[in-house]
Amino acid sequence: MKFLIALSKIDRRVVYLLLALAVVVPMIVSFNVRFHVDRSTRDLFEAVDRIPPGGQPLMLVFDYDPQIMPELDPMATAILRHCFARGIRVVGVTTGAQGAALGERAMARAAAEHGKRIGEDYCYFGYKLFLSMIYFGENARRALPVDHYGRPFDSLPMMRGIRNYDDIPLVIDLAGSSILNSWIVYMGARYHVRLGAGVTAVMAPDFYQFLQTGQLAGQLSGMKGAAEYEQLVVERGYAPAKGLASRAMNAISASHLLLIALIVMGNVGYFAARRAKPKNPQGGA
């Protein structure tokens, strides 16, 4: 009985250690599993896949900072691989100062893998105020006069003919904060921009309502969303192998199982303790 009761009183440091092992071990010993793809992920993938290659560009917004980079960077990479493999042009931008370096790295890496040229196949505008992105709805050229590297808008061949959001078939905002709400309210409602999203797992339930109302064309939720997107990219033949998110999914699976086990143990201990309590002397059967 004592052992059972002890199950509900494991020291928090032991819990931390168990979790660390559950995360680290599966990252080292990697195994490949196939998983269920949520409808919201599939919807976003299809929305990207429908953009005609070599035509109007997709806009990818890197609204994240280093703290949530582990969750959102794999999303950016998976989407960029999909676009570049299919020949879809991409415009990158961020409305958070700390996202500028992260976006630049993600775009440069994916472009190098696929031999894409800046200015023709992709553009990167770096950090812009959110107000500038609202203004993009009125006049793209004036909202983004120069790119991240100081080149004027008009000197970028793929940006010719881009007047405002009417010429951007899809905007995907990768965010870990309420900035996505602002994209939905300003760009979605005001300029009728077709929006997709990638958010941290913690934030994901906040945006389900926008999926239901159709204000978001699709959504990637946390590492799982990134892993699902990677799986779709591989299944459609756009990439030979899955990426980092799929490997991290093993760690996520292990940690979920650990959590379930801990909760079960806690409850076993809780009921054992309740049973072990001295019975009420007046209480008959």
Q: What's the first-to-final CA gap in the chain, in angstroms? A: 22
Tokens 């806009």 correspond to 59
- Proportion of the chain in helix, strand, coil states, percent, rounded to 5: 55, 10, 30
179 near another protein, judged by CB under 8 A:
no
Residue from 21, 25, 27, 131 touching another protein (CB under 8 A): that is: 131
Task: Give the whole-angstrom CA distance, residue 133 versus residue 186.
Answer: 10
Rg (CA), the chain: 23
Binding mask 20-39 for another protein (x = CB under 8 A): x--x---------xxxx-xx
**DSSP letters along 19-86, please?**
HHHHHHHHHHS------PPPHHHHHHHHHHHTSPTTSSPEEEEEE--GGGHHHHHHHHHHHHHHHHHH
Contacts with another protein, 80-109, as mask; x by CB under 8 A: ------------------x--x--xx----
Angle 170-171-172 from CA coordinates, rounded to 5°: 120
Least gap, CB of 66 to another protein (angstroms): 3
| C-alpha to C-alpha distance for 202 and 257, rounded to whole angstroms | 18
Per CB under 8 A, the segment of 86-94, 116-124, 208-216, 235-243 that binds another protein is 208-216
Q: How do 90-94 and 195-199 pair as beta strands?
A: unpaired
Residue 166 Cβ, how far from another protein at the closest point, in Å?
6
Candidates 82-90, 109-117, 195-203, 235-243 — which segment interacts with another protein by CB under 8 A?
195-203
Report the residue number, 277 or 282, with the smaller CB distance to another protein.
277
Q: Which of 72, 171, 226, 252 binds another protein (CB under 8 A)?
A: 252
DSSP 146: B
User: For another protein, how many residues bind (rule: CB under 8 A)?
Assistant: 64
Q: Which residues bind another protein (CB under 8 A)?
A: 10, 12, 15-16, 19-20, 23, 33-36, 38-39, 50-52, 55-56, 65-70, 98, 101, 104-105, 129, 131, 138, 163-164, 166-167, 169, 176-178, 192, 200, 202-203, 205-206, 208-209, 212, 224, 249, 252-253, 255-260, 262-263, 266-267, 270-271
